[in-house]
Amino acid sequence: MMTGTAVITNPPSPAPSPAPDRELVYLNEVQEVDYWRKVLGATPEQLRDAVGAVGRSPEKVREYLKK
């Protein structure tokens, strides 16, 4: 019989992040901004302006950015 032996366990892994929603333009996480910046060819500022003007629809944001 062993006494005074500590059992060391690893903490549980954090839950994986949910898959990004590509049906709407979300700009509240760095990786989302990076994704939409690359897809739409816009700066983060242009994306924020577009989403503020037309909402989160990628099609509407794309059209807004063409102007």
Instruction: Tell me, yes or no, whether 60 lies in a domain.
Output: yes
Number of domains in the chain: 1
Instruction: Tell me, yes or no, whether 17 lies in a domain.
Output: no
Q: What is the pLDDT of residue 39?
A: 94
Instruction: Tell me, yes or no, whether 61 lies in a domain.
Output: yes
Q: What is the pLDDT of residue 13?
A: 62
Q: Which long-range contacts (CB under 8 A, 24 or more apart) does 22-29 make?
A: 22/58, 23/58, 24/56, 24/57, 24/58, 25/50, 25/51, 25/56, 25/57, 25/58, 25/61, 26/56, 27/51
Instruction: Tell me, yes or no, whether 57 lies in a domain.
Output: yes
Instruction: Tell me, yes or no, whether 48 lies in a domain.
Output: yes
Q: What is the pLDDT of residue 22?
A: 80
- Tens digit of each residue's pLDDT (9 = 90 or more) over 2-56: 566 666 666 666 655 555 568 999 999 999 999 999 999 999 999 999 999 999 9
Q: What is the pLDDT of residue 63?
A: 97
Find the domain containing 46 and state its range: 30-66
